[in-house]
Amino acid sequence: MSPSSKTFIPAFGLGNPHLQTLWGPLWRKTVHLDRQRERLWLDDGDFLDLDWYGPHSAEAPLVLVLHGLTGSSNSPYVAGIQAALAAQGRASVALNWRGCSGEPNLLPRSYHSGASEDLAETLRHLKAKRPLAPLYAVGYSLGGNVLLKHLGETGSASGVLGAVAVSVPFRLDQCADRIGQGFSKVYQAHFMREMVAYIKNKQRQFQHDGREDGLAALAALGSLENMRTFWDFDGRVTAPLHGFADAEDYYRRASSRYFLGEIRTPTLIIQAADDPFVFPHSLPSANELSATTQFELQNKGGHVGFVDGTLRQPGYYLERRIPQWLADAGRE
């Protein structure tokens, strides 16, 4: 497939959506990057860790990369896109959402699919730090949902010149249902283990640091046992920690599908029709999209997969398509 092609063709033997989805975390060779970490202190006293890579010149285009649920800047797709962007002469900075950089964050609250306030604060910081750099953003899965929500909330004042969102859970309630079906229950079980471990790890850190207020806030959540579904976790943990009435309220207020029509930033959405996290009816229709949004629905690709080439020499479609689109957007 030529690098300029907009059609994704899976590697022979990887046509199955689950193989596409699992290839990156299970079989992709690690991309090692020599990155510089910066700690961004937030207005509420918490922090985010940012991992910088690529050219240091003041005017080099800068791309903010946003990882998905239980991921980090070390997720294979994050390191992969940072390497691809650097090869194009672009700087990038990978955001680790609260508590995702290998160190628990300082507040009881964590990150979630609607945490656009943290994205907005990060963008303000980047614009102040590199005011001459054209600024773009790329988000995957949860990160893509947060990005689209932010773009819709801010309209023409988004702070970025262009954005790409990949494998977006547009309707969080429907995706919580979808991941509880069939083989996708395997992903659900994985996420539950990781998310409960995230909270327990924070409890241990609060205990060690003597943070009584934080411990009390987490203790008020009740038992962390027997949480099997996203509805369980988001109802008992996400909602009370972040000011939502319940899981349904959180899903309604955080789902990016409700914000798409207000986007004014040039935006590319890349989605696979066989995404095992997303029902086909969860995808937005053409009349829900703003005039500045380009929606590319591929037949195959799984969830943040899009592995092409061959099994011997796998290729990564997103790491060609995204830099190409950003380059084109920068010329317009």
In the chain, alpha helices (H): 17-27, 76-87, 116-129, 142-154, 172-178, 185-209, 212-219, 230-233, 239-242, 247-254, 318-331
Number of Cβ atoms within 10 Å of the Cβ of 135: 19
C-beta of residue 52 within 8 angstroms of C-beta of residue 125: no
Our CA angle for 8, 14, 17, nearest 5°, is 80
Q: Indicate the helix (H) or strand (E) that contains 39.
A: strand 36-41
Residue 56 annotated in active site: no
Question: For 293, how many CA atoms within 13 A lie in the half-sphere containing its CB?
Answer: 23
> 49, 274, 275, 308: which one is catalytic?
275
Distance in angstroms (rounded) separating the CA atoms of residues 82 and 53 = 7
CA end-to-end distance (rounded Å), the chain:
25
Q: What are 230's two structure tokens?
A: 């996203």
Asked about 125 being catalytic, the answer comes back as: no
Residue 177 falls in the annotated catalytic set: no
The CB-side HSE value for 56 (13 A sphere, CA atoms) comes to: 3
Non-local CB neighbours of 119 within 8 Å, separated by 6+ positions: 66, 95, 137, 146, 147, 150
Distance (Å, whole) CA 4 – CA 12 = 20
Residue 204: Cβ-neighbour burial (10 angstroms; 0-12, 13-18, 19+) = exposed
Q: Which of the following is catalytic: 101, 141, 167, 256?
A: 141
Q: H or E element: which one contains 125?
A: helix 116-129
Catalogue the active-site residues.
141, 275, 303
